Structure 1
Amino acid sequence: MSESEPARPTPSAERFPAPLSVTSRLHSDPAPDIEAAHADADAFWLAQARRFEWTREPSVGLSGAAPDFQWFADGETNVTLSALDRHARGEARTRAAFIWLSETGEEQVLTYGMLHGRVEQAAAGLRALGVGVGDRVVVYMPLTPEGCIAMLACARLGAVHSVVYAGLGVGALRDRIVDAGARVVITADVGYRRGKLVDLYSVAAEAIAELPEVEHLVLWERIKTFSREHDARTVAWESLFEHGRAAAVPVGAEHPLFILYTSGSTGKPKGVIHTHGGYTVGTAYHLEQLFDVRAGDVFFCTSDIGWIVGHSYIVYGPLSAGATVLFREGAPDFPDPGVLWRSIEKYGVDVLFTAPTTLRLFMKLGAEVLKPHDLSRLRVIACAGEALNPEAWRWAQEHVGGGLGEGAHGRVIDHWWQTELGGPTLGTHPRWPVRPGFAGPALAGVELGVVDEDGHDVPDGTQGQLVIRRPFPSMMRGIHGNPAKYAEVWTTNPAGYLSGDLALRDKHGYISILGRADDVLSVAGHRIGSADVEDALVSHPAVAEAAVIGIPDELKGQSIVAHVILRATHTDSPGLRASITEHIRRELGPIATPGEVVVVSGLPKTRSGKIMRRVLRAQALGEDPGDLTTLEG
């Protein structure tokens, strides 16, 4: 079908109102903010900005026009003033900022006072190495407090950090070091993943071997017996803490905070730039208002600092809000499937942020894994990364949130954003009715639309391109070294920022993300979103997760191939595959019926959980899959 024709109904047209047993536990209410932002978005965001620490308070909100816009342009700050200094000066000094767990059972707790001191010292050590305002530092560290301290120390000096996921290979790391123009690389000897040691130092040393522009390789040695020949530029992590303490360097609100390379699920990674001012305001705001986190809450984020979620909701957002953030190095089901849920129970987690992939993993394993654990303190379970399909939402709401109606203790909510956007853009607040299969409406201060290629609004219930009409503070300010590519996202569609996602809006203003525009299937002249077919597949009782691709077909243009992971209670058979095929025919009609159903044990994903459909497509066609640097190992 064309983009102007009605899309098929989403798998669930149901609405689940928020039960009083949940809403009575919530702190935030989005209604006043939505009204205020609708009346005057600049004034709304400026009021939010003034809740943070500034060395020169801003007097303006948005200035300039996209793509060359600015937020709080006359303001001066440093993100660590809001994330650390203001808490370390007051009663929060003794509050836990970080609770960190490792796969090996190690635990580390850092209070705001302790974390502030460590960051001051690390910043002074980097300054002694010559790192200053505007210098780029690549952080190739495992998910540990030391990795977070490295990020914050760079920010404190006005240096620009670029975190590279610990585990990417030599070529991927080298490319990012070169593209960022880094003078210093910070790494560790090893990380842990599913009980195995991941050698990081050897990768980092090889990556910089022929890069004389890298002046220092800072090494944190976790395992003293894990020895190897050191690069001559190697500096001990511990030596950074011998140079006193560094005060935060004030920088303009638009000064770059970090460069983060996108996951590469649809092609070559690009370096997205975020800033000190707007990024701080936006990420902390949504942590408090959408996720309902308050100072003193225990907030568990299952992401990694190598991805935007880890930047926004392990480090900068929670610290700026004064929360206690729990994070854990390693896989969520290792050393056993109960470890995630034991941690939630032990540390009294109030709010969990995880990926639909994680929920589907446990849906596959079965609810018996969760039953021994008391999850009743959880009041919000937020998901993002891939679309949260209705079946996974139902399963999680029943088994993690405590039920579908009154008596539930928590609320499973979906929301949508991107590396480029810094923080949530649309979502379902835990006070609002949930529409399974819909991420939710636009959040306060966000103006978006579902439009055709000419920028015209499409009717409700119709597939179109998701665009953001007006910049908001946490959006990226550029793509490092590629201003033309950055300008494209604002100029390709006349309506505004082109997200690259296809979506539809219902009569309530809720938006369903149908998949990437380049993942659209074209079967016999009909355009079908890959997410549509995948949602229908996982509604089959045997299917835990699915990914579909289109391959060339002489008659239909494309034929659909469905790759499915079965639940633990089912085994592959010709009869089961026929049942799945018939289920799709019944749910979506003949045009969406897969030409082939392939049962697999896993799907190619980035380490942030996004399915790399182009890898499946390349495998099916015998083609080069392109950049695989972020493929999960």
Structure 2
Amino acid sequence: MDRHVEAGHGDRVAIHFEGEPGDSRAITYAQLKDEVSQAANALLELGVQKGDRVAVYMPMIPETAIAMLACARIGAAHSVVFGGFSADALATRIQDADARVVITADGGYRRGKPSALKPAVDEAVAKAGTVEHVLVVRRTGQDVAWTEGRDVWWHDLVAGQSAEHTPEAFGAEHPLFILYTSGTTGKPKGILHTSGGYLTQTAYTHWSVFDLKPETDVYWCTADVGWVTGHSYIVYGPLANGATQVMYEGTPDTPHQGRFWEIVQKYGVTILYTAPTAIRTFMKWGDDIPAKFDLSSLRVLGSVGEPINPEAWIWYRKNIGGDRTPWWTPGGRPRPAAS
């Protein structure tokens, strides 16, 4: 963020946040820099140091990206755990990473209803035994159990911090984050990603694969930050490249099955990156739904997460891209220097 602000792009929107209930927020690069700096100072106040691990168990809200970037800013490795995982799965990852702090929220919105997150954190922290503090974002306003001396409200601690913070410089091999495998074929394994190679490759692939033009494009990756696609193509790649992007909290059918296309129309999305499973779902819902919305802003379509079958590709290009967009899907192979 600092580079973009210093280059005179502080007023450019970094994140268009769209909450599932319909609330929205535009965050510029200057605002994002300030909020990340405040969060970094808050983590330092909680005793987080370079080399520590911080677990993040959050909904798809801006504070999730802010928390990740704040960790990176002070040299603490974040370990983001998908918000749909159970307390046991969270506890396993907290314990294995030896996380000192957990950042979470009271809950998020899912299919039109508040979905609690804090109870799972309380259960996981009790099992893990390594956590000193739990930093809680108030998103839904749900009542939550509270442990005095351990639990801290984000708005109480972060909002009062200085927006001045100088990021530390770290070597290329300094740990950036730990992301765990799903555990479907055995115990989840923590994969360590280091700063230099990962950031270089993520920024380059985001720029080159999507033909990114940060001055004019509005980019939207529909993945969850809890997966590596979300890390790479929501948080690090787009923000390293100075892109304007959309972040959506909820599901594609809330409050109606045209929600994704409504968002594309609202923000003038030019680059859309989603998954074949979602595309096949949209196909089942019918061609008439996207036809109700103006999708003419789209110029690049991306597919990620699994192979896309020909029928889904044809439907996606025709009904969403208007038969005028190229498409890209990444290969499932190692990428040199992208550890």
Q: TM-score range by the shorter chain?
A: over 0.9
Partner of 2:271: 351
Find out whether 1:303 has 2:237 as its counterpart.
no
Give distance in 2, aligned partners of 1:102 and 1:392. 28
Give TM-score scaled by structure 2 length.
0.95
Shift of 1:167: 2.4
Quick one: higher RCO (CA 8 Å, sep 6+), 1 or 2? 2
Mapping 1:225-264, distance limit 5 Å? 226-232=142-148, 233-238=150-155, 239-244=157-162, 245-264=164-183
Q: Are 1:87 and 2:12 counterparts? A: no
In structure 2, distance between residues paired with 1:413 and 1:155: 29
- Residues 155-181 of structure 1, C-alpha deviation per residue, up to 9 Å, x if partnerless? 100000000111211101100000111
**CA distance 1:137–1:322, change in 2 (3 Å):** same
Give the superposition deviation at 1:106: 0.6
| Secondary structure in structure 2 of the residue aligned to 1:309 | helix
- Tell me how far 1:202 sits from its aligned partner: 1.0
Unaligned runs of 5+ in 1: 1-83, 418-424, 426-467, 476-633
What is the match of residue 305 of structure 2? 385
Q: Secondary structure at the match of 2:294?
A: coil
**C-alpha distance in 1 between matches for 2:20 and 2:199:** 30
**Correspondent of 1:278 among 197, 207, 213:** 197
Residue 106 of structure 2 contacts residue 144 of structure 2 at CA under 8 Å; is this kept in 1?
Answer: no
Shift of 1:97: 0.3
| CA–CA separation in structure 1 for the residues paired with 2:212 and 2:271 | 7
Q: Report the equivalent of 1:331.
A: 251
Residue correspondence of structure 1 range 93-104 to structure 2 within 5 A: 93-104=10-21
| CA distance in structure 2 between the partners assigned to 1:327 and 1:138 by the alignment | 21
Distance in 2 of aligned mates of 1:364 and 1:283: 33
Whole-angstrom distance in 1 between the partners of 2:19 and 2:318 = 29
| Counterpart for residue 294 of structure 2 | 374
Confirm or deny that 1:402 pairs with 2:322.
Answer: yes
Contact (CA 8 Å) 2:109, 2:140: kept in 1 or not? no
Distance 1:389 1:267, change over 3 A: farther
The structure having more radius of gyration, on CA atoms, is 1
In 2 relative to 1, CA 103–243 (structure 1 residues): closer, same or farther, beyond 3 Å? Answer: closer
Query: Aligned pair count?
Result: 335
Question: In 1, distance between residues paired with 2:208 and 2:25?
Answer: 28
Deviation for aligned residue 1:398:
1.4
Task: Give the secondary structure class of the aligned counterpart of 1:332.
Answer: coil
C-alpha distance in structure 2 between counterparts of 1:376 and 1:171, whole Å: 45
Report the counterpart of residue 48 of structure 1 in structure 2. Answer: none
Q: Deviations over 1:116-165 (max 9, x none)?
A: 00000110010011111110000011100011111110010000000011
CA RMSD between the two structures: 1.4
Aligned to 2:138: 221
8 Å Cα contact 1:401-1:412 kept in structure 2: no
Quickly say closer, same or farther: Cα 1:395–1:116, change in 2 above 3 A.
same
Describe how 1:487-526 pairs up with structure 2 within 5 A. Answer: none
Q: Which amino acid aligns with 1:394?
A: I
Alignment deviations for residues 279-312 of structure 1 (CA, whole Å, 9 cap, x no partner): 1110111111111112131100100110111100
Give the deviation of 1:94 after TM superposition: 0.1
Give the secondary-structure state (helix, strand or coil) at the position aligned to 1:86.
Answer: helix
**Aligned to 1:414, which of 326, 329, 332?**
329
Q: Go from structure 1 to structure 2 and tell me whether the alpha carbon gap of 1:414 and 1:213 turns closer, same or farther (over 3 Å shift).
A: closer
Matched, 1:472 2:309: no
Cα displacement (A) at 1:380: 0.9
State how far apart, in whole Å, the 1-side matches of 2:263 and 2:298 are. 12
**What is the identity, as a one-letter code, of the residue corresponding to 1:415?**
P
- Note the C-alpha offset of 1:185: 0.4
- Cα distance between partner residues in 1 of 2:67 and 2:319: 37
The separation in 1 between residues aligned to 2:176 and 2:40, in whole angstroms, is 15
Listed as ranges, the gaps of 5+ residues in structure 2 are none
Kindly state the Cα deviation for residue 210 of structure 1 after the two structures are TM-superposed: 4.1
Contact 2:301 2:326 in 1 (8 A): yes
User: With structure 1 as the length reference, what TM-score do the two structures score?
Assistant: 0.52
Q: Please state whether the residue corresponding to 1:274 is helix, strand or coil.
A: strand
Deviation per CA, 1:459-494: give whole Å up to 9, x if none. Answer: xxxxxxxxx5xx61213xxxxxxxxxxxxxxxxxxx
Q: Hey, what does 1:497 align to over in structure 2?
A: none
For residues 227 and 397 of structure 1, the distance between their equivalents in structure 2, rounded to whole angstroms, comes to 45
1:340 aligns with 2:264: no
Q: 1:223 to 1:337 in 2, by over 3 A?
A: closer
What letter corresponds to residue 228 of structure 1 in structure 2? V
Shift of 1:263: 2.4
Change in Cα spacing, 1:211 to 1:261, as seen in structure 2 (3 Å) is closer
**Could you tell me how far apart the structure 2 residues matched to 1:267 and 1:370 are?**
40
CA distance in 2, matches of 1:266, 1:387: 20
CA distance in 2, matches of 1:223, 1:393: 37
SS in 2 for 1:230: coil
Task: Kindly provide the amino acid, as one letter, of the partner of residue 143 in structure 2.
Answer: S
Q: 2:186 aligns with which of 267, 272, 276?
A: 267
**Residue from 320, 339, 347 that aligns with 2:240:** 320
Deviation track 1:210-232 (CA, whole Å, cap 9, x = no partner) reads: 444211011112244x2233023
Query: What is the CA distance between 1:193 and its match in structure 2?
Result: 1.0
Counterpart of 1:411 in structure 2: which amino acid? P
The match for 2:113 is 196
Match of 2:52 in 1: 135
**Residue in structure 1 matching 2:43, options 110, 126, 143:** 126
Give the whole-Å Cα distance in 2 for the aligned partners of 1:400 and 1:210: 46
Distance 2:275 2:294 in 1: 21
The 8 Å contact of residues 136 and 181 in structure 1, kept in 2 or not, is answered as: yes
* Paired residues of 2:298 and 2:321 also in contact (CA < 8 A): yes
> Contact conserved, 2:17 with 2:247, CA < 8 A, in 1?
yes
Q: Give the Cα separation in 1 of the matches to 2:13 and 2:291.
A: 29
| Cα distance change on mapping 1:265 and 1:394 into 2, 3 Å | farther
Counterpart CA distance in 1 for 2:317 and 2:185 is 31
2:25: which partner in 1?
A: 108
What is the CA distance between 1:413 and its match in structure 2? 2.6
What SS is found at the alignment partner of 1:235? strand
Q: Name the structure 2 match of 1:171.
A: 88
Q: Give the residue type in structure 2 aligned to 1:338.
A: G
Alpha-carbon spacing, 1:267–1:368, altered in 2? closer, same or farther (3 Å): farther
Structure 2 Cα separation of the partners of residues 355 and 362 of structure 1: 11
Name the CA distance, whole Å, in 1 between partners of 2:14 and 2:336: 28
Task: Compare the two structures and name the one with the higher helix fraction.
Answer: 2
